Amino acid sequence: MLTVKLPQLLNIHQVPRVFREDGIISGYRPPKSSALECILSSFRMTNETLNIWTHFLPTWYFLWRLLVLSSSLDFRSDPYNWPLLVYLLLICLYPFTSSCAHTFSTMSPRALHLWYFLDYGALSLYSLGCAFTYSAYVMPDRWLNSPLHLHFTPLATLNSFICTALSCYSRFLELDAPKLSKVLRTAAFVHPFIFDNVPLLYRFLFCSWDAAVPQHFYHLLFAFLTGFLFASHLPERLAPGRFDYIGHSHQLFHVCAVVGTHFQLEAILADMSSRKPWLTSHTPPTTLFGIVGIVGVAMVGNLGIIGLFTGILLWSPRAASILQSTVPEGSKLKE
């Protein structure tokens, strides 16, 4: 019978700076783990275990929602449902990519950055999926067929490029300018979020409320909590070492993100159902070429950006500082 003995977990002083997390003192996996060790580590308690599962399990939940909705909605021949299909596929992609990033990030410093480049790209595409559904189902009545409405998804595609590029670039600043790195990465994701939700905020402020509004409100609430937890590193910043395994900000940020996406999906479905007669009679039908074209450009563009930063990471001498694989300050790994 094949047995694998997993290596001993390490503390913050036993891993290179590139693997350290603010306020997390213990529970680090060795920074040169094999792929098998990374997978098996998801079944033991480390400081990454709940990060892995809080996005891996929701992937299956959203996939189940996709399958259930595909039995009641015509995704094949009804153009009205196509923006929802794009959104559903992308809300399955982003938690799965994040789960993989947390699982395999300790294979090497290069793997750490490469997986998070892909994670950022998936999140950028998720923001585009939101734009598809908001343009199709959430846009205020007064804004239908306006210049903003007509160019909403192309602008969201541009935003996804900015988001991926800025967040990938921020990784090169993590060690030398950690505060600037955090600011840039936060801004990278706040920017497309604000843009996507401008139509919704207008409805909150200037339109009569309907059945979908409470669900939209819950989504915005959990989105705010997600951003707050990501930027603040609470509660571990207040009590370093107390939340290494359970309850640190990244776990809570994952949970809030998934719960917020759940409420977002429910709100979109409510708008989609209640506003269908009005929307179908006042807007031109969605074209397959338009959807496939925009999604194709977004995927190729984001992969190109990721490829560019991957090339810089692998071959540029300037990237050496974020690929340090030794423990600084004379610390040694304890067997």
The pLDDT > 90 percentage for the chain reads: 87
Q: Could you give the 3-state DSSP secondary structure of residue 28?
A: strand
pLDDT: which is higher, 316 or 219: 219
How does residue 208 score in pLDDT terms, banded at 50, 70 and 90? confident
- In this predicted structure, the answer to whether residue 325 has a pLDDT above a threshold of 60 is no
pTM over 0.85, yes/no? yes
Could you give the domains of the chain?
12-322 (1.20.1070)
pLDDT in tens, 38-86: 999 999 999 999 999 999 999 999 999 999 999 999 999 999 999 999 9
Sequence-distant (6+) residues with CB within 8 A of 199 are: 134, 135, 138, 139, 140, 143, 152
- Which tokens belong to 262? 């759940």
Which of 238, 230, 322, 236 is closest to 26 using CA atoms?
Answer: 236
How does residue 103 score in pLDDT terms, banded at 50, 70 and 90? very high
pLDDT in tens, 306-315: 999 999 999 9
- Residue 138 φ then ψ, to 5°: -105, -20
What average pLDDT does the segment 222-245 reach?
A: 96
**Residue labelled with tokens 């595609």:** 157
